[in-house]
Amino acid sequence: MFNNENKKYIGVKELGNLAKEDFCPRCFWYERKFGPFPSIFPGIFNVIDRNLKRSIWERWKKERRLPKWLNVKSVERILTTESIGTIEEKHKQKYLVALHKKSGFILRGAPDLILKLKDGTLHIIDFKTARFKEDKEDDQFFPMYEVQLNGYAILATKIKVSQLSLAYFNPTDKISEEVFSENSFRLDFEPKVISVKIKKGLISNLLMKAKKILDSKEPPPGRENCRGTCYYLSKIGKTLLQS
């Protein structure tokens, strides 16, 4: 546990935004200083994620095997977050945490699936309910996903990580007679698992980038044609001036 009263946490998902093509440093500065605008994240994604992880755990407990679509070889067992690094709890959720001394940030995150391989290393997998695109250049969110997974590798301080993977769950367009029943509707997902490279220095570089932005006393210039937080703040400012 970290006892520093001035904790500066940054989640792997938040850090991932710094790698996106449409990242706006001005929005980031405002959101870290004053908090983001309220947004509603559909709860259905949390339900899908929770049930998916539970189904994999249950199959492993009963049959000592993973689903066929999750073709990972030489798996010894599934591990919990406590097994691989330092844990802190927030809102009844356990997170891995690690201090990056150079930036002063405490990185935080919770992997979806941690597999211990027979060679003693880890294979960490992250689940995404999203459409898979063959060309990564067409997936605006892939840079963010890549950072998340590399962040988990950094947070696994007790055991070496040798492999990272993304598991996309793509809603299918197939309709069969079994889709509807008297009292329910079933939507099928097609899983697609891809390997993600471990990139040394990626997380440290982004944390230093975040530090440089936040060390500024004044908000930095925004991204051209930004439609995020700084855009709405400018709209609010103009409205106040006109009133």
Enter the CATH code of domain 9-173+180-242: 3.90.320
| Mean pLDDT (whole number) for 55-62 | 92
Between CA 84 and CA 87 the distance in angstroms is 9
| Mean pLDDT (whole number) for 138-150 | 94
First and final C-alpha spacing in the chain: 50
> How many residues comprise the chain?
243
**For residue 41, what pLDDT is reported?**
64
User: Side chain identity at 39, as an amino acid letter?
Assistant: S
Q: List the chain domain ranges.
A: 9-173+180-242
pLDDT tens-digit series, residues 167-202 = 998 887 776 666 666 677 777 888 999 999 999 999
Q: Please, which residues have CB within 8 angstroms of residue 211's CB and are 6 or more apart in sequence?
A: 103, 104, 105
Please state the pTM of the whole predicted model.
0.89
> At what angle are helices 142-155 and 202-214 packed, to 10 degrees?
100
Dihedral in degrees, nearest 10, Cα atoms 128, 130, 132, 137: -90
